[in-house]
A and B are shown apart, each in its own frame.
Chain A
Amino acid sequence: NAGVTQTPKFQVLKTGQSMTLQCAQDMNHEYMSWYRQDPGMGLRLIHYSVGAGITDQGEVPNGYNVSRSTTEDFPLRLLSAAPSQTSVYFCASSPGFSYEQYFGPGTRLTVT
């Protein structure tokens, strides 16, 4: 199993550009989520999904969209990038609520 994979590893955007961060898992996990990590802030939940077709907002959802058309994939879309979205983004999955989450290697995004 590849586990949780994320692409790209690094990305530089200009303010106003849009892009999609890809996340895929091959463990047949129902629960998937997106976090951002910023210095001194820990990891903050952006959006999460409890199964295909079901998504909900986390702590910091503004400026981001998600969809879950398959169990395996959970892409994160930045609609109009802003410098405040410069961060490291992690995708995670788990079999269910009370299980530990498995994290991908992260995407480092810089918005200039």
Chain B
Amino acid sequence: EVQLVESGGGLVQPGGSLRLSCAASGFTFSTYEMNWVRQAPGKGLEWVSYISNSGGTIHYADSVKGRFTISRDNAKNSLYLQMNSLRAEDTAVYYCANFAIEYWGQGTLVTVSS
């Protein structure tokens, strides 16, 4: 059974940092591209970042470029999102997603507030 389980969300002050993790199982993680997608409360979906299967190609949305860093550890079947200089507008549920096999995690909530 395919599983993507996000963790690491929580409440953080503006300007702070968080590191999200996504544990993958049920598929050969190292062969697939992965993405982070977020959804602010009551709002639509916003793609955040992409990483190729090897980690050699990375893309970011303009809204997070320079503040967020995506990475992966294929030996640990894990995807990460390091989020720095957080802003109130980064408040959202963050999903890790494998578009190729049509699977999304359940998401982890990040709240940026003082």
Instruction: Indicate whether A and B interact.
Output: no
